[in-house]
């Protein structure tokens, strides 16, 4: 017996995204930015990470397909470099972020994640160019002159580097106090070889 549209719509969904976790030392340096300016809603240390792909709401009966798709991603481990501050302007505010260098291996991983997810599920295609960053604060008010100055003064700030050996599927639970990120599954990257993006020869 086929399910009715109403029955399908009532199935529980989960809000999912794919990301790279950051080591505590980089998080500590990012949190130090909070001491430079007050009055912002800051991302908690637990939620400081590099998003590769925001998937959105997914019915629970399709999550296994996405997990299988991510298992097919074969990319090499790499070094992640977090440096600089920047702002994305939005209609009613903006985003304060720390930059992440566009390493070829990072961009290759991002490409593979997108390809496998889109091949396994009818996800919306994101036409915007991927700009790797770590969100430090989501601004609900227009960007202030003091914040502009902070970004300009710390545009070259170096927050450190880290070895990335895995990526992670997270669920995001929206709460009045803010989002809570829960781990769904980890996916190991191939240990670094002489050529990123390829497996070591047998």
Quick one: tokens of 95?
């985003």
90 contacts: CB under 8 Å, gap ≥ 6: 139
Quick one: tokens of 69?
């798709």
- Quote the CA–CA distance of 185 and 149 in Å, as a whole number: 40
Average pLDDT over residues 134-153: 89
- Cβ(151)–Cβ(86) below 8 Å: yes
Q: What is the pLDDT of residues 110-123, one digit of tens each?
A: 999 999 998 887 76
Cα dist. 103→65, 133, 196 in Å?
29, 12, 10
Helix (H, G, I), strand (E, B), or coil: what is residue 188?
strand
**Taking the mean position of all CA atoms in its chain, how far away is CA 136?**
12
Name the pLDDT band for 9 (thresholds 50, 70, 90): very low
- Cβ(187)–Cβ(73) below 8 Å: yes
**Taking the mean position of all CA atoms in its chain, how far away is CA 123?**
17
- Determine the pLDDT at residue 193: 53
The model's pTM? 0.84
Q: What is the pLDDT of residues 19-53, one digit of tens each?
A: 999 999 999 999 999 888 878 889 999 999 999 99
Exposure string of 172-193, with b = 16+ CB inside 10 Å and e = fewer, is beeeeeeeebeebeebebeebe
Pairing of strands 78-90, 13-21: unpaired
Query: Which fold is adopted by the domain 14-188?
Result: Cyclic Phosphodiesterase; Chain: A, (3.90.1140)
144 φ/ψ angles, rounded to the nearest 5 degrees: -85, 155
Quick one: tokens of 156?
């070259």
CA angle 92, 96, 97 (to 5 degrees): 140
- Quote the CA–CA distance of 37 and 39 in Å, as a whole number: 7
């Amino acid at each position: 017996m086929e399910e009715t549209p109403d029955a399908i719509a009532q199935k529980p969904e989960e809000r999912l995204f794919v990301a790279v976790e950051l080591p505590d030392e980089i998080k500590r340096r990012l949190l130090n930015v909070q001491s430079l300016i007050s009055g912002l809603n800051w991302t908690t240390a637990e939620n400081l990470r590099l998003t590769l792909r925001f998937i959105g709401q997914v019915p629970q009966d399709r999550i296994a397909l996405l997990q299988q798709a991510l298992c097919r991603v074969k990319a090499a481990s790499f070094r992640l470099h977090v440096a600089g501050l920047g702002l994305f302007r939005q209609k009613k505010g903006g985003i304060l972020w720390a930059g992440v260098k566009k390493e070829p291996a990072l961009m290759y991983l991002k490409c593979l994640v997108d390809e496998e997810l889109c091949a396994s599920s009818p996800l919306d295609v994101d036409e915007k160019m991927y700009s790797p960053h770590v969100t430090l604060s989501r601004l609900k008010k227009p960007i202030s002159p003091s914040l502009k100055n902070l970004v300009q003064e710390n545009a070259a700030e170096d927050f450190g580097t880290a070895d990335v050996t895995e990526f992670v599927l997270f669920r995001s639970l929206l709460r009045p106090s803010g989002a809570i990120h829960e781990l769904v599954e980890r996916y190991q990257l191939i240990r670094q070889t002489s050529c990123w993006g390829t497996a070591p020869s047998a």
